[in-house]
Structures are given as structure tokens and as C-alpha cells.
Amino acid sequence: DIQMTQSPSTLSASVGDRVTITCRASQSITSLLAWYQQKPGKAPKLLIYKASSLESGVPSRFSGSGSGTEFTLTISSLQPDDFATYYCQHYDAYFYSFGQGTKLEIK
Amino acid sequence: EVHLVESGGGLVQPGGSLRLSCAASGFTFSSYSMLWVRQAPGKGLEYVSVISSNGVYTYYANSVKGRFTISRDNSNNTLYLQMGSLRADDTAVYYCARDRRYGEADYWGQGTLVTVSS
């Protein structure tokens, strides 16, 4: 099974900062990678799909990139609403694998 | 508007069974694969199971294989998860979600809590 590993596990940042979260796969994968944002007590929200496609309604400060084994989620200028936990997720032939999550905290 | 509403969670003893339901509305349910994802308290997201749009194909995480059964009723727009031989480490919020097309889960329910404890 392909394992997805996110780094860092926790990230402290300030409003206005540019932040990047990395998701590494245990082997080369297709671009069928998604990113989600989750706030406490809420369901995850889709941000990015197919590695770099922005979900409708998601602010353009969110972007995704990458290929092979390394993928990134970048928030260009953090807003107060962005402090949450972020997950990457890979899909391959009816198998879904999530990263362990990155908690984005206010510095 | 798309809505997914889970139900059926609760407290169950180890070794017991429980059936979760997910009522879907606002889209053509029979056109989408549907999945269950769970989240143990304070932990990350874990894929549980997926079912193809027509219900022919079903897949499971190794952690639940042989104990859980996913099914769907396309005539009633409902997704199910029959859980058996429950263990303490099955305790989690269980979400149903829609696989839009490329493995991305674009809509999620609010979740239902399953607690396995004596």
C-alpha cells in the first residue's frame, strides 16, 4: 500500500505569512491527489483536486502543485480563517490513502 | 443542494454490531461512488470503504476487511455500512462522502459517532 506522509505535523504561522505543507508518497503516484481543510468538530472541506485544480469557491490564495512522490499545498497569505488541520489524500483504483495531517496554528 | 446525512451511530459493546446509514439528496446518487471515512478522537482521517456507483464493486481498508460491509440502495438514495465484530479501536466519527470523479471527496456528511466500549 502507498503511504502518504505530511510535513510538518504542526506549523505555527502568522496572518499574512506564506506557508507550504508537503505530502510525500512512499512511491511515485499519479496526480490524483487532493487536499482538505478540517476545522474542529467539522467535516473535511475539499480545497484542491488532481494535485493542482482549485475547487470551486475556494479562495485563490490556496494552490497545489507537485508530481511523482512530492506534492505541496501553499497558502499565499494566511487569513484568520485558515488556521485548521490540512490533509492530503491519494486515490488509486478504489483505494484512498490520507496523510496524517498538518495542524496550522497561530504563532 | 447536495446533502449527506449520516445516522445510526451510538454506543456498542465490543464484539457487537451496528449499521450506519447515509441519506443522500440533491444529486443523482446512482451516478457516484460513495465512501466511508472515519476519524478516531483526536486522530486523522482514515479511509474505511468505498462502493461503486452501481454497487457492484466494493473495497475495504485492511483494518475492517471481513468485519464491515458497505452497500447502497440507489432507489432510496441511501448508503450503508454494516459493522460487525466491533473493537475499541473502531471508535470514531464516521463520515460518508461522495467521490466526484478523480478520487476527490467533494461532499461530506456531518458524521456520526460510534463508540465501542463495555
> Over the stretch B90-109, which tens digit does the pLDDT of each residue have?
999 999 999 999 899 999 99
pLDDT in the model for residue A53: 97
- Provide the pLDDT confidence category of residue A93 given band limits of 50, 70 and 90: confident
pLDDT at position A94 over 90: no
> How far does B97 lie from chain A, in Å, by closest CA?
10
pLDDT at position A74 over 90: yes
User: Which amino acid is it at A105?
Assistant: E
pLDDT in the model for residue B84: 97
Burial of B102 (0-12, 13-18, 19+ CB in 10 A): middle
Q: Which residues of A touch B108 (CB under 8 A)?
A: 43-45
- Provide the pLDDT confidence category of residue A15 given band limits of 50, 70 and 90: very high
CA torsion angle for B63, B116, B58, B56 (degrees, to 10)?
Answer: 160
**Which of B5, B102, B110 has the highest number of chain A CBs within 10 A, making it the mutation to test binding with A?**
B102
pLDDT at position B1 over 90: yes
Closest CA to A100 of B61, B98, B42, B102: B42
pLDDT in the model for residue A1: 84
Q: How far is CA B42 from CA A39, A103, B38, in A?
A: 12, 12, 12
B44: nearest CB among A50, A55, A98: A98
User: Which amino acid is it at A10?
Assistant: T
Cell of A4: 502518504
Q: How far is CA B57 from CA A98, B31, B51, B68, B69, in A?
A: 21, 14, 6, 14, 12
> Over the stretch B29-64, which tens digit does the pLDDT of each residue have?
999 999 999 999 999 999 999 999 999 999 999 999
Average the pLDDT over A92-104 and give the result. Answer: 94
Which chain A residue is nearest to residue B39, measuring alpha carbons? Answer: A43
A98: nearest CB among B47, B99, B108: B47
pLDDT in the model for residue B90: 98
pLDDT in the model for residue B74: 98
The answer to whether B42 faces chain A, any CB pair under 8 Å, is no
Q: Confirm if B97 and B34 have CB atoms less than 8 A apart.
A: yes
> Over the stretch A55-73, which tens digit does the pLDDT of each residue have?
999 999 999 999 999 999 9
Task: Give alpha helix (H) positions in A1-107.
Answer: none
Q: Which residues of B touch A44 (CB under 8 A)?
A: 37, 45, 95, 105, 108
